[in-house]
Amino acid sequence: MNGDPAAGLPRAAADAGGHIDGRVDARVYVLVALLALAAAGPSLLNGFAYDDQWIIVTNPRVHDLHHWADWFRTSYWPTSEASLYRPLASTAFALQWIAGHGTPLVFHIVNVVLAVAGAVAFLWLASLMLPPAAATVVAALFAVHPVHVEATGNVVGQSELAAGLIMLIATAMYIRARRDAMLTPGARLGIAALYLAGMFFKENAIVLPAWLLAAEATVLRNDAPLGDAIRARWRALVPFNALLACVALLAVAIRWKVIGAIGGDISHPALDNLHAPQRALVMLGVLPDALRLLVWPAKLFADYSPMHVTISASPNVSQINGILVLLGMAVLLVVAWRKNATAAFGLSIAAIAWLPTANIVFPSGVLLAERALYLPSAGMLLAAGTAVAWGMRRFSGATSAAPVALAALGVVLVAGTVRSVDRQRTWRSSEDVFLTMRRDEPTSFRAHYAWGGLLFERGDLVNGEREWRMAIRIMPGYHKIYEDLASRYLQAHLCVAAVPMYRKAIELAGTLPLSRAGIVACELETSQFRAARHEARLGMIDGNDPRWFRARLFSAESALVALDSIRK
């Protein structure tokens, strides 16, 4: 601790029966690793699916080493519209593409290795604050948790697994070092390096300092007088926290320099033009699903969108369950804060880990993603581990209780493994993902939008149009689908159908260069030269690609001059 007093045993020790030394039999680590392998291993049969296509398959920046500078000076997505910066994830994808000559197997091997390593790291962290038996139980549950499948089965989930592994290791290192009074300069630099690496794999790792502060307030607090404890911690931790703050500022500064944004992604259609309080109301409708997935993930979905999820940006009865969940979690946290430090830590880090994707500070491209629950599940299981430890102490003298408990645990582990293995098949290809979405979520906007896009790519224009029309009926306020459908009409030279769609997109979203350009192209194609001239001028006034619109303006005016000369 470098001067941090050790007066009084951390309260977590008393809660866990004193077993906080982190010593777990090596065979337990092997068991947890094998369980994680059983749950994640079937993903080796998967190919590239969904976002893998854009991030990896059709992205030339990760196909060779010649574009290595682009991994660090461009957005994670091939398009600059998305404010995501993950240079280490792009680097890892490029190295895997080169190693396997583009085969998905190499990527999935890395995913499985990360999943196994994550389960082992979680066992280490759990062993620092729970008795060995309780730590083993929750680590086994973490290893087979079905909510992790979206991260392990889909290649782009690799950034989630890598950042999660780094977060778990860094937190365990910190707690171990603080308890052993060994937060040495080397340990500090090591954690800081992990912190930077985590943020460059995925942005949500930025909350690591909040995890460490939660540890200080819970599992690392002691019985020393409050004033003495505060002064000692201040002396010991200010330099280290200043170091982490500098690392965070460095990451944010690089991000701003490269993509011109601190955070945020192309927002989910349900979040378009909403302020933070409105987004918070929307997320109240999503919160019950998030808790259900953490506690009982029997039903899994590849996407959570209207109308599959009932949401509202204004106060609505659909938010009552979310309010109850929020209040219940708050009460649990308050009680745990007073009674059980480990439970308080677990609940705290679960909430903190979810915040970056909670759409409150910044909007994101998803309302709820199962892959984003990888780290929150670790916090919830740590909290649950305290109940496991209590049960073991409570029924330690009941000889008949042990076989029943072991049988129940076995059933849950088998069920979790079977569900994970079965769910891995969903991510074998984009077709499997979209078919599953359409089957499981028939009222979901995204299900019809995604499946329609795949049908259009296959040349099935009639059914593609039908699916997109269905998506419009489900979510009529989303401008992008009008623009996309209009572009398909334009490609088929159906300008009579395309122009109203383009105008609807502009009506919903305001200045849209592609929609304005589509209208100009249609009007030129149908010889409506005066209208084309007017739209081209509007495009230039809006500040959209003036060279393109000036060229179309010239074409329209030339055609009008030619027509006038013919009439004369």
Which of 373, 396, 426 is the last residue in one of the domains? 426
Q: Tell me if 379 is assigned to some domain.
A: yes
pLDDT in tens, 236-275: 788 899 999 999 999 999 999 998 888 767 788 889 889 9
Q: Tell me if 281 is assigned to some domain.
A: yes
Which of 374, 406, 426 is the last residue in one of the domains? 426
Q: Which residue has the tokens 């300092």?
A: 209
Confidence of residue 15 (pLDDT cuts 50, 70, 90): very low
Q: Tell me if 127 is assigned to some domain.
A: yes
Tell me 23's DSSP state: -
Confidence of residue 230 (pLDDT cuts 50, 70, 90): low
Whether the per-residue pLDDT at 494 is higher than 60: the answer is yes
CA distance 351 to 354: 5
* Same domain assignment for residues 458 and 384: no
Q: Look up residue 287 and give its two tokens.
A: 């919160």
**pLDDT value of residue 17:** 37
Q: What percent of the chain has pLDDT over 70?
A: 93
- Is residue 520 within 8 A of residue 532, CB to CB? The reply is yes
Confidence of residue 541 (pLDDT cuts 50, 70, 90): confident
Q: Tell me if 465 is assigned to some domain.
A: yes
Q: Tell me if 356 is assigned to some domain.
A: yes
* Same domain assignment for residues 467 and 413: no
DSSP codes of every residue in 110-163: HHHHHHHHHHHHHHHHHHTTS-HHHHHHHHHHHHH-GGGHHHHHSGGGHHHHHH
Q: Which residue has the tokens 């066992």?
A: 123
CATH number where 513 lies: 1.25.40.10
Whether the per-residue pLDDT at 394 is higher than 90: the answer is no
Count of alpha carbons within 13 angstroms of residue 257, beta-carbon side:
8
Number of domains into which the chain is organized:
2
* Same domain assignment for residues 132 and 247: yes
Mean pLDDT in residue range 327-346:
95
Q: Tell me if 4 is assigned to some domain.
A: no
Whether the per-residue pLDDT at 226 is higher than 90: the answer is no
* Same domain assignment for residues 22 and 147: yes
Mean pLDDT in residue range 454-471:
95
Q: Look up residue 385 and give its two tokens.
A: 């581990």
* Same domain assignment for residues 530 and 558: yes
* Same domain assignment for residues 67 and 189: yes
Q: Tell me if 6 is assigned to some domain.
A: no
**pLDDT value of residue 568:** 65
**pLDDT value of residue 228:** 60
**pLDDT value of residue 398:** 74
Structural domain boundaries, residue 223? 11-426
Whether the per-residue pLDDT at 567 is higher than 80: the answer is no
Question: Does the N-terminal peptide bond of residue 307 adopt cis geometry, omega within 30 degrees of 0?
Answer: yes
Confidence of residue 227 (pLDDT cuts 50, 70, 90): low
* Same domain assignment for residues 364 and 467: no
Which of 426, 452, 470 is the last residue in one of the domains? 426
* Same domain assignment for residues 41 and 163: yes
* Same domain assignment for residues 463 and 328: no
* Same domain assignment for residues 68 and 187: yes
Tell me 313's DSSP state: S
Whether the per-residue pLDDT at 225 is higher than 70: the answer is no
* Same domain assignment for residues 275 and 323: yes
3-state secondary structure 377-415: HHHHHHHHHHHHHHHHHHCCCCCCHHHHHHHHHHHHHHH
Amino acid at 233: R
- Is residue 321 within 8 A of residue 169, CB to CB? The reply is no
Q: Which residues contact 532 (CB under 8 A, 6 or more apart)?
A: 520, 523, 524, 552, 555, 556
* Same domain assignment for residues 214 and 155: yes
Q: Tell me if 3 is assigned to some domain.
A: no
